[in-house]
């Protein structure tokens, strides 16, 4: 059961349901995580995305029937070995996470080791699905050409992941409309898209959703939502 109060004054089709309310700063402390969870519960965001060390705390504060607990794996560079990522994900799912945002091994991908990348993602997807979890794969579009984005989408499709996600927020740029449009054109309808990185206002979030994004990862969720409420 949630220990937090829930708001009932949101628009029926609120953008809140698209937002992963995110706090991944290295200096995030426990008070910030508690505040994040209270905000997510109040505004009924889709999920909170927290560092692995705060999974238990977030899971204890939130009713995951309403707000999911997501965490990051192989973050933010992605070049951990596959067995380390698998252990990270298994541990995260065992202590309360229900959604895993895992960074693709971009170094291996850039080296043309596509089968190794696909195998890693497939193992993570199998684990998440066995644990009734969701796997979102971060491909870091800022580091990829259009052709590489298409190839990454193909590998994610073969691995049967749940979402392909644009960015960690730690690279040279975050999501763009062009990224989302290209990804949507090269993914089956069964695989959803998460846009993240640099999404700070309602207008841009709406454009990303219109382009094909199913989730928005942002630390500016309340600012975005307040702008929405002002419009309506």
Partners of 19 in the beta sheet? 216
Angle at 110 between CA 106 and CA 114, to 5 degrees: 85
For residue 224, which of 77, 4, 46, 55 has the smallest C-alpha distance?
A: 46
17 an active-site residue? no
Question: How many residues are there in the chain?
Answer: 232
101 an active-site residue? yes
> Active site residue: 41, 101, 162, 179, which one?
101
CA 180 to chain centre: 14
Cα end-to-end span (Å), the chain = 31
110 an active-site residue? no
Inter-residue contact 190 to 161 (CB < 8 Å): no
Calpha distance 192→18 (Å, rounded): 12
Q: What residues are annotated to the active site?
A: 101, 165, 194
């Amino acid at each position: 059961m949630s220990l937090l109060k829930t708001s009932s004054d949101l628009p029926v089709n609120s953008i809140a349901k698209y937002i992963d309310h995110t706090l991944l700063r290295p200096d995030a402390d426990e008070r910030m995580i508690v505040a994040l969870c209270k905000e997510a519960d109040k505004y009924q965001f889709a999920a909170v995305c927290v560092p692995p060390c705060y999974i238990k705390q977030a899971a204890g504060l939130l009713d995951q029937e309403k707000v999911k607990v997501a965490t990051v794996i192989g973050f933010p560079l992605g070049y951990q070995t596959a067995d380390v990522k698998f252990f990270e994900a298994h541990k995260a799912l065992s202590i309360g996470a229900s959604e895993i945002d895992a960074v693709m091994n971009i170094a291996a991908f850039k080296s043309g080791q596509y089968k190794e990348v696909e195998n890693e993602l497939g193992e993570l997807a199998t684990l998440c699905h066995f644990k009734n979890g969701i796997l979102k794969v971060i491909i870091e579009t800022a580091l990829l050409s259009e052709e590489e984005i298409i190839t990454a989408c193909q590998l994610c499709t073969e691995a049967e992941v749940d979402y392909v996600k644009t960015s960690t927020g730690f690279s040279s740029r975050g999501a763009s409309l062009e990224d989302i449009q290209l990804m949507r054109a090269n993914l089956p309808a069964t695989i959803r898209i998460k846009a993240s990185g640099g999404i700070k206002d309602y207008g841009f979030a709406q454009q990303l959703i219109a382009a094909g994004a199913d989730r928005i990862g942002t630390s500016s969720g309340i600012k975005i939502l307040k702008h929405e409420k002002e419009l309506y």
